[in-house]
Structure 1
Amino acid sequence: MTSQRRVISIQPGQPASDGAGVRLNRVIGGPGLERFDPFLMLDEFSTDNPDDYIAGFPPHPHRGFETITYMLEGRMRHEDHLGNVGLLGSGGVQWMTAARGIIHSEMPEQESGAMRGFQLWLNLPAKDKLGEAGYRDIPATDIPRINTASGAEVVVIAGEFDDGEIRQAGAVQRPHTQPQLFDLNLPAGSQVSPRLADGQRVMLYVYQGLLELPEASTQPVSAGRLVRLSDEGELHLASTHGARVLLIAGTPLNEPIVQYGPFVMNSREEIEQAMRDFRDGVLA
């Protein structure tokens, strides 16, 4: 009998503020990043109060990783020093590879209404950290949505969803870290069993409802909590009352992680160089 992935930890996000005062729930970020390798940060934004988001994220730099922004509700405009301009709308994804450097802004295209979504930071391997920067907008219509036999709906943002009956490639594929990013909608009474490769780091962020895990000792996981699972075994998820869950999985890089604000490199010397490059106007 194949073993199940064990629950290593269940932790709540922490209130935070970023940009020009945007209120967030910081789920991953800060000390102990190696536990989540290759992921560096996960922020959730969810509010219908424009005072919480209206100031947005004015121009700021990044180097050494990728950002994935997934918008559930709302509109955000991206502009960067490379000349890219994009509008991220409900259900869409913005995938930005900062690599050697990018300076961009993310500003709300609305003055009222709900703004809900996530931003995930994905590390780059050392050999790619000073590669070419890139940017891609992926509208909701270009992101696969599937319905499983058990009644779950899956938005396949990155990687490949496979439950033994349905296989569906996501909108984005990445080598090295091989990220799997799925938005799971589990109606009451449904379940889902995605197949994930052994050795991948796996996390579940419950952002709505109650999620049930197969471990008898684990109570249903409520919204606002991150579940970190072991790197091997099968995964079975269910919800008696309904849940929305962000499944995040990836292959660890097992490289040093040195972060200073928006710069993520492998050594302190590389961080100091990034700071000098930004100061001297030669970040990219």
Structure 2
Amino acid sequence: MKRLNIKNADIGIMRKELEMAIEGQYSYDGAGVKLRRIFGGQNAARYTDPFLLLDNFGSKDPKDYEKGFPWHPHRGIETVTYILEGKVKHRDSTGVSGVIGSGELQWMTAGSGIFHEEMPQVEKEGNSGLQLWVNLPKEHKMTQPKYRNLKDKNMPAVTDSYGNRIKVIAGRRADAIGLISDLSIPISYYVVDMKKDSQFVQDIPEGHTAIAYVLKGRLGVEKGTEIEEGSAAIYKRSGDSVAVSTGIETAKFMLISGKPLNEPVAWYGPIVMNYKQELVKAYEELENGTFIKESADVQDL
């Protein structure tokens, strides 16, 4: 491992220490979309709570993504889709439809139930993006579904003293406040373009989960440890900030943080509830046609 310098001498600052570094594994999902799964599953959720799953899909070859993610349900979670290149068409069973373009994000609260499809479009530049699943707390599992569509041009952004550019999707950085703000639990989501030989520090509350995922380049995530493209750093919850650094090359990464729910997780396929009987009821409703409770609210930001 190349040693990268991360200063930790700030008076009164308690950096979150690295819990583990993980490398995404290639897999297939949907109707045959090739993707890199960074984390997912109930075992991982012990460390990533309130986050359940993170996938990075992307390819120049249409065969790797053109079959997409045909009709499927969700309940009890939020899916956050951020498109890096290309376009994804989306529609649900109640008639809501749209396109998520390059640099755009959709924060979908499935709540009581969404039945939808997400279909990457064949583009000359290829198609790539991220999808994050966020668990909903027990009292919000059956809330009204909602779409928040965020355009790239409307994402607040700031530049720090190193010249690093930080897009704020949710949370706050200096005077930039993310437009995704009506969430059921405190969550932050940043996309950071870092200069070479630079550092980045972000305040994250004590007790909150923090995860950094590298989209490009290499990132120093703890003194003496770096991770590369396709890998993530999961931090311990004690401490009130995260610090990362770059060496001789630039880097791009996403940083997410959130307050753990510490609730039971009953998970089968695209539905995540608290107890097994709630899962059984959800799949019975899929069979008898009573799964969708109400149409989704749509908010364009």
TM category (shorter chain) comes to over 0.9
Q: Does the CA contact (< 8 Å) of 2:86 and 2:123 recur in 1?
A: no
Corresponding residue number in structure 2 for 1:30: 41
Q: Which region of structure 1 is more displaced relative to structure 2, 168-177 or 266-275?
A: 168-177
Match of 2:171 among 137, 147, 159: 159
Match of 1:16 among 27, 34, 59: 27
Looking at structure 1, the residues matched to 291 and 185 of structure 2 have their Cα atoms a distance apart, in angstroms, of 24
Pairs within 5 Å for 1:220-235: 220-233=226-239, 234-235=241-242
Q: Is there any run of 5+ residues in structure 1 with no aligned partner, and where?
A: none
Asked if 1:77 is matched to 2:89, the reply is: yes
Give the 3-state SS of the residue equivalent to 1:276 in structure 2: helix
Aligned residues: 278
Which residue identity is paired with 2:21?
I
Corresponding residue number in structure 2 for 1:95: 107
Q: Does the CA contact (< 8 Å) of 2:75 and 2:111 recur in 1?
A: yes
Q: Which region of structure 1 is more displaced relative to structure 2, 63-72 or 189-198?
A: 189-198
Q: Which region of structure 1 is more displaced relative to structure 2, 38-47 or 144-153?
A: 144-153
Deviations 1:144-192 (A, max 9, x none): 122112110111111112xxxx231112014442111101111212221
Asked if 1:171 is matched to 2:182, the reply is: no
Pairs within 5 Å for 1:69-218: 69-161=81-173, 166-215=174-223, 218=224
Which residue identity is paired with 1:256?
P
Q: Does the CA contact (< 8 Å) of 2:221 and 2:244 recur in 1?
A: yes
Looking at structure 2, the residues matched to 56 and 213 of structure 1 have their Cα atoms a distance apart, in angstroms, of 33
Which residue identity is paired with 1:257?
V
Which residue identity is paired with 2:245?
A
TM-score scaled by length of structure 2: 0.89
Q: Does the CA contact (< 8 Å) of 1:49 and 1:112 recur in 2?
A: no
Q: Does the CA contact (< 8 Å) of 2:18 and 2:222 recur in 1?
A: no
CA-CA distance at 1:279 after TM superposition: 1.0
Q: Does the CA contact (< 8 Å) of 1:8 and 1:228 recur in 2?
A: yes
Deviations 1:61-90 (A, max 9, x none): 000010000011110111001221111001
Match of 1:238 among 245, 251, 260: 245
Give the 3-state SS of the residue equivalent to 1:213 in structure 2: strand
Give the 3-state SS of the residue equivalent to 1:236 in structure 2: strand
CA-CA distance at 1:111 after TM superposition: 4.8
Match of 1:268 among 276, 285, 292: 276
Looking at structure 1, the residues matched to 225 and 108 of structure 2 have their Cα atoms a distance apart, in angstroms, of 37
Corresponding residue number in structure 1 for 2:295: none
CA-CA distance at 1:14 after TM superposition: 1.1
Which residue identity is paired with 1:260?
Y
